[in-house]
Structure 1
Amino acid sequence: MTTLADPVPGGRPGDVERATALGGELASAGVHGVVLAYVDTAGIGRVKAVPTGKLASAAAWGVGMSPVFDTFLANDSIVTTEALGSPDGDLRLYPDLDRLVVLAGQPGWAWAPVDRVTQDGDRHPGCSRTFLRHVVADAARVHGLAFRAAVEIEWAVGLDAAPAGEFVPAAAGPAYGATRQVELSEYTADLLAACAAQGVDVEQIHPEYAPGQFEISVGALDPVAAADRSVLVRQTVRAVARRHGLRVSFSPAVVAKGVGNGGHLHLSAWRDGVNLHAGGDRRHGMTADAEAFAAGVLARLPALTAVTAPSPASALRLRPSQWAGVFTAWGLETRECAVRLVRGTAGRRAEQANLEVKPVDLAANPYLALGCVIAAGLDGVASGAVLPEESTGDPVRLGAGEAAARGVRRLPSSLAAAVAEFRADEVLRAALGPVLADAVTAVRQGEIDAVDGLDDDQVAAAYRWVY
């Protein structure tokens, strides 16, 4: 469950009493501090922390943080917009007590995501978590829709003792191989134990394709809780790795060549407790609204990539024929399509059917990514959009004429091209609001400028240990 009401100075009804009780329980359990976590526009997790005894104060009055972090780059440089990037002003970080959890991978610590509020008690227009909460609330109010979502997490495991800056895979076994699972058996077992202790239901964990790469899939939740869970799981993956002498990278491209790390979004739309992606009379069991939602996402993918694949390193991952979904194509369980309908297993499709959006990586702020994808889908619902002809196989094999007839085109192959698409997309910019939309474009342009003149290997190295 996620708290849907905006925080208010003094605390919402019951917040202070609840935080006081939680603080006592945490202290009795040996927890000394609470990490207050959010993700900035560049996709970097930022934190403040309070002693356990100050949790009630944080719930009532928040914790101070400068709004300048909305325009931080991944290298900690700062860019500016008309509203953001100056040394002026202050915000308050309010923890969501519903999502507070004791960190099994970091003894002595608990963790909670935050919403950011101005000193006057208003919602901060640059807060991505608040943005997603309001997108979800508006979908329920206007369209009667609710969503369930999950974020796949892929990461590369390296040796912490490797030379500074270098990536040396911690497992030498083959892709998806039993050898690799054995090589890192203790680490992955401890990771599963930590997730279970934190209430994270893991669907599966396995070795992935690239050297030293693994993937963990977790259960679906409402979109805000799903984004929270993505942040929490990555914190846990990293913390457990450090205890095993390992170092992890969620960068889209740990090395310049080969398959990178994805962060595919899984999303299903529901109305009155019924999954709209199953049991309908449209293609493959979709309802009309489910198809329109998918069509809305597909239509705005070129602009969405500025949010879902936002790093210069993302372009190194978004290459054809690597299951990254780099064409505006959709299909039934076709892993080269950018939007993939996953029907689920016979007998469980009413529960499992969902859309997978593939041109997404873990440099993306998950709140921004989910919020923008949902906004694009809702625009499709509002307009009654219809999906084009579906694709099978690899879209790269389509001739120019057939691709044009199906509306299949290459997604932006550079961050600059994605930003140009985003600047022109009125739906996404309106959904974000001017402050957050301008922060997205300014930060992306800052990242572009930061790697000007670098070759692919240098770009990969620049972001290798940032995410």
Structure 2
Amino acid sequence: MAKIHQPDPNVRRILERAELEGIELIRFLYADHGGVIRGKAASRSRLAERLGTGIGHTVAMMAMNMLDQLQEVEHMGPVGEVRIVPDPATYVPLPHAPGAAAMLSDLRLQDGSPWEACSRTFLKDAVTALAAEGYTLMAAFEPEFTLGRRLPDPAGGPDRLVPLDDSLCYANAGFDIAHDYTMKLIRALETMGLRVEHYHPELGPGQQELSVRHAPALRAADNHVLYRETVRGVAMRMSMWASLAPKPLADQAGNGAHLHLSLWNDTRNLFEEGSQVRDWFIGGLLAHLPALTALTCGSVNSFRRLGPRMWASAYAVYGPDNREAAVRICSPLGETGEPNLELKPSDSSANPYLSLGAVIHAGLDGVRRKLDPGDPVDVDPDTRPGQYPPLPRSLEQALDALEADEMLMEALGPLRRSAYLAVKRSEAAAFAAKDPSYELFHHMRVF
């Protein structure tokens, strides 16, 4: 069997840490086309070897949807093998799972080359494209989630999520009710190197918002994978349930994962007030936004959240501190705050590597073509019917827009786009054939 790559200089450090910290299993994690975080685990006794070879994995798993239904995708059937190859720089112990650690991973061919369907490689390639133009991107996801308990439905239907509380938005009572959980979560995230920025109880019953510090694009996506799994893992250890699904409760506020972005050239933030580069980047986002939505809001459930007057955006517009705009120009916090953009049609059912990679390609396309974003919008766009272009209102519409977007389809490449479209169209069909409770349950369960 061919080795995947030469041992990383950090390998000895990882092996020593694993022994000192009593780690027995190390999870090699990746994100699939359904937005699910999957992986396999190596024992500590085999870790040195597996850091070099990876763990064998069927190619078919990237054709699996979020219901574990395998789709027919050419080159993703029963024949074929890739390797789940961990990135040693991402090694972290999992405080909520004593004895376990994790590393974010790439999917590689047996000769060590990147596999065309690896989503983490897609983001790496987007970062490389930015670097070739002299830019780097800093990013942070701003996730919300619903904290409660998963209980049987008294009527015999699917399990339901019962929120932890019914406190008001930002209410101090909400801080107190969720305090024990929140402290455990913060300590876990900080232990893994994720710097917590802000926390508050949000609008819906049991809804929480906790954000972590921005980072270079790849690290930001890696952080979001760890964040998602830790939010859920800490809750499970406390006999609770946490869901980052866009709309786990049909009649309550949705959970976004707004994406914050800033573009840099050496030490200069290019999204400062009056920047042409910022305007062009926004122009690229808006030009590709209908297609982008298929990747940044990657589930049927996402489109329950994307509606007018929900502060989630329903129109392809931008504006300064406009929380009904798809792209908000954020005011810097204080004299040391950095200007940034906030993409609001974004949630945690998306594969963060595909989502952020596609955003980079769209923004860079705007910069290269010097796309004019038009005038900023300083009102709720829903108050002016017919004046602004609406976002897709369903996953099917978003996938149609993605298929029609030549630039994004080219960036995704033949194998990745074929698998993504097959997986997502299968999910749309599966949920269309069931009642809403089926959809809500499965999104609450998976995300």
Q: TM-score, normalised by structure 2?
A: 0.96
Matched, 1:153 2:143: yes
Structure-2 separation of matches of 1:369 and 1:399: 29
Structure-1 separation of matches of 2:139 and 2:163: 31
Structure-2 separation of matches of 1:375 and 1:326: 22
Give 1:335's match in structure 2, choosing from 323, 333, 339. 323
1:266, distance to aligned residue in structure 2 (A): 0.7
Which consecutive residues of structure 2, in runs of 5 or more, have no partner in the other structure?
none
Matched, 1:368 2:348: no
Please list the CA deviations of residues 240-270 of structure 1 after superposition, one character each: whole Å capped at 9, or x if unmatched.
1122221111111102233211111111110
Give the direction of change, closer, same or farther, for the CA distance of 1:161–1:417 in structure 2 (3 Å limit).
Answer: closer
Partner of residue 396, structure 1: 382
Worse overlay, 88-97 or 256-265: 256-265
Partner of residue 125, structure 2: 134
Partner of residue 101, structure 1: 92
1:99, distance to aligned residue in structure 2 (A): 1.0
- Other structure's SS at 1:265 match: strand
Superposed CA RMSD in Å reads 1.6
Alignment of 1:159-170 (within 5 A): 159-160=149-150, 163=153, 165-170=159-164
Partner of residue 195, structure 1: 189
Structure-2 separation of matches of 1:449 and 1:333: 37
Please list the CA deviations of residues 381-414 of structure 1 after superposition, one character each: whole Å capped at 9, or x if unmatched.
11011111111121100143xx1xxxx2110101
Given residue 115 of structure 1, which amino acid in structure 2 is its aligned partner? D
- Other structure's SS at 2:147 match: strand
Percent same amino acid among aligned pairs?
35
Matched, 1:353 2:333: no
Give 1:226's match in structure 2, choosing from 199, 206, 220. 220
Structure-2 separation of matches of 1:446 and 1:46: 19
Matched, 1:69 2:57: no
Matched, 1:257 2:251: yes
Matched, 1:428 2:408: yes
1:161, distance to aligned residue in structure 2 (A): 5.1
Matched, 1:439 2:433: no
Contact preservation (8 Å) 1:276, 1:286: no
1:333, distance to aligned residue in structure 2 (A): 1.0
1:14, distance to aligned residue in structure 2 (A): 4.4
- Other structure's SS at 2:375 match: coil
Matched, 1:412 2:398: no
1:47, distance to aligned residue in structure 2 (A): 1.3
Partner of residue 244, structure 1: 238
- Other structure's SS at 1:229 match: helix
Q: TM-score, normalised by structure 1?
A: 0.92
Given residue 229 of structure 2, which amino acid in structure 1 is its aligned partner? Q
Structure-1 separation of matches of 2:200 and 2:322: 20
Contact preservation (8 Å) 2:259, 2:342: yes
Given residue 67 of structure 1, which amino acid in structure 2 is its aligned partner? V
Contact preservation (8 Å) 1:210, 1:258: yes
Structure-2 separation of matches of 1:53 and 1:206: 42
1:162, distance to aligned residue in structure 2 (A): 5.4
Structure-1 separation of matches of 2:82 and 2:10: 23
Partner of residue 277, structure 2: 289
Given residue 393 of structure 1, which amino acid in structure 2 is its aligned partner? V
Give 2:106's match in structure 1, choosing from 115, 125, 130. 115
- Count of aligned pairs between the two proteins: 443
Worse overlay, 233-242 or 425-434: 233-242
